[in-house]
């Protein structure tokens, strides 16, 4: 199933899962998938861990989710730390197992690497990976977008130029980084359209379930917390259950506004926690 086509059947709801670190088994991941499968997501995406058998785990997980649960899967493919040969081998394995959708990403910089330094990397930027996959053929390609600008971008305009280049090079849909202010998404989409990005732009939503995790992710991704939300989170940080309930309420309101404003769907960053995502999606579909 082509994910870009699924996004034409609005609204499309999708989930991101991350693979356990080697040598941990994949069983806990499939427990999460099993919990969420009855919600009939349009598709799921699977994070990619470089090295230590990460590629093989990604292939095995994506294939099993498609075969056993009947849910289309898109594998993350990160280029920065890999060679063309390694990426080609990974794509060959995905194709052999019937995985036809990928999310092409630069990937995190290795520890100690300076932003903007690519050295002799074969895929210094995500657009290089997108071109390579398109030229190879056989895959439908998604790319990432940043409503509040990539932390390493020289400027918002530069960031949009890079997004437009990824789309021109073969990107068929955009999944955004997480955000908590819907104005950031709507403004981003408007500016992206003016920059020539005319593919679906799917908002990425992360339900707040853990205070320290929220602080870490927001700092890492350069994500702004609106003042009212920040005040609630600070007030509830000592009560995990109350914070999680607030997170579900907040994300539900976010999603409703996004869908009413024309978003083609919602991509949930589940953090491999099924309960919050299941509750939000259940509310969206019943009210």
Residue 241 has pLDDT above 80, yes or no: yes
Task: Please state, in angstroms and rounded to a whole number, the distance separating the CA atoms of residues 230 and 227.
Answer: 5
Question: Does residue 3 carry a pLDDT above 70?
Answer: yes
Distance of CA 42 to the CA centre of its chain: 14
Give me the catalytic one of 16, 148, 172, 279: 16
| pLDDT tens profile 9-44 | 779 999 999 887 766 778 888 988 998 999 999 999
Give residue 203's pLDDT band: very low, low, confident or very high (50, 70, 90). very high
Q: Among this protein's residues, is 234 annotated catalytic?
A: no
- pLDDT tens for 40-96 read 999 999 987 666 677 888 999 999 999 999 999 999 998 877 889 999 999 999 999
What is the SS3 string spanning 131-199?
A: HHHHHHCCCEEEEEECCCCCCCCCCHHHHHHHHHHHHHCCEEEEEEEECCCHHHHHHHHHHHHHCCCCC
Cα separation, 123 vs 118, whole angstroms: 8
Mean pLDDT of 256-278: 92
Asked if residues 129 and 105 have their Cβ atoms less than 8 Å apart, the reply is: yes
CA distance 242 to 201: 32
10: tokens are 């609005």
Domain ranges in the chain are 3-286
pLDDT at 117: 52
Topology of 3-286 in CATH?
A: TIM Barrel (3.20.20)
Q: How far apart are CA 274 and CA 258, in angstroms?
A: 21
């Amino acid at each position: 199933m082509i994910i870009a086509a699924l996004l034409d059947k609005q609204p499309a709801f999708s989930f991101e899962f991350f693979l356990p670190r080697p040598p941990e088994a994949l069983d806990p991941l499939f427990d999460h998938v099993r919990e969420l499968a009855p919600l009939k997501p349009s598709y799921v995406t699977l994070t990619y861990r470089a090295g230590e058998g990460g590629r093989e785990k990604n292939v095995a997980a994506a294939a099993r989710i498609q075969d056993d649960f009947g849910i289309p899967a898109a594998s993350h493919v990160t280029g920065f730390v890999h060679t063309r040969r390694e990426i080609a081998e990974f794509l060959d394995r995905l194709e052999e197992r019937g995985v036809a959708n990928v999310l092409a990403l630069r990937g995190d910089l290795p520890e100690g690497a300076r932003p903007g330094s690519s050295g002799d990397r074969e895929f210094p930027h995500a657009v290089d990976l997108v071109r390579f996959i398109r030229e190879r053929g056989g895959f439908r390609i998604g790319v990432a977008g940043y409503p509040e600008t990539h932390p390493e971008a020289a400027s918002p305009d530069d960031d949009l130029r890079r997004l437009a280049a990824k789309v021109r090079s073969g990107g068929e849909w955009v999944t955004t980084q997480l955000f908590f202010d819907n104005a950031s998404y709507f403004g981003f989409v408007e500016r992206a359209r003016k920059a020539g990005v005319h593919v679906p732009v799917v908002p990425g939503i992360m339900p707040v379930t853990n205070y320290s995790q929220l602080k870490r992710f927001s700092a890492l991704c350069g994500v702004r917390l609106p003042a009212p939300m920040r005040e609630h989170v600070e007030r509830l940080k000592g009560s995990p259950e109350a914070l999680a309930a607030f997170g579900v309420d907040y994300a539900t309101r976010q999603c409703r506004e996004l869908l009413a404003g024309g978003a083609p769907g919602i991509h949930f960053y589940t953090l491999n926690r099924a309960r919050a995502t299941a509750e939000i999606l259940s509310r969206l579909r019943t009210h």
